[in-house]
Amino acid sequence: MIHRHKYKIWDIKYECYLEFDMDTGDWKAHKDDPNKSYTYLELFVLEILGDRFKKLQCTGLKDKKDKLLYEGDIVKYPVLDPDALCEVIWSENCWMCKTKDGKMTGLINFTTDWMPEKMGTIYEKPELLNEKNT
């Protein structure tokens, strides 16, 4: 769980993630406007005053391909249903997996057979939750 205070930031206007630049301490866009950067304070103010940015917290858990899972990720999670896709959310003081129809279960430390598989995010591929989801 060493990644539990790690974040990604989704820029709703430019539809891209901002990446943290360790050298400058700024958040930088990686498409559309690669030279634009924001200080943490600027992002904080923009997040409070508008709906342009969405801060996504890391769960500290990884999927079967060793990718970190963040809130807003869409995963295939066999605990719910072998084929169901669900969104990773924070609810009831723990990380949960929620299907389109509202079924939920907690994300737990996994065994190999029960590990989720990241399929996309609700920002990059929202249509995934509308496909063959029960």
* Dihedral, 112, 6, 87, 117 alpha carbons, nearest 10: -30
CA distance linking residue 13 with residue 112, whole number of Å: 38
120: left (phi > 0), else alpha (psi -120 to 50), else beta? left
Domain map (residue ranges) of the chain: 7-55, 58-130
**pLDDT confidence of 1, banded at 50, 70, 90?**
very low
Please write the tens of the pLDDT for every residue from 91-100. 888 899 998 8
Say whether domain 58-130 belongs to CATH 2.30.30.290: yes
Please write the tens of the pLDDT for every residue from 30-41. 555 556 677 766
List the structure tokens of 72.
């807003």
Say if pTM beats, i.e. exceeds, 0.85. Answer: no
Please give the average per-residue pLDDT across 37-46, as a whole number: 69
Please state, rounded to an integer, the average pLDDT across all residues of the chain: 79
**pLDDT confidence of 72, banded at 50, 70, 90?**
very high
Return the pLDDT at 34: 59
Return the pLDDT at 35: 66
List the structure tokens of 100.
């389109």
Please write the tens of the pLDDT for every residue from 92-129. 888 999 988 888 888 876 566 678 899 999 999 999 98
Please give the average per-residue pLDDT across 40-62, as a whole number: 76
Return the pLDDT at 85: 92
Amino acid 28 reads: K
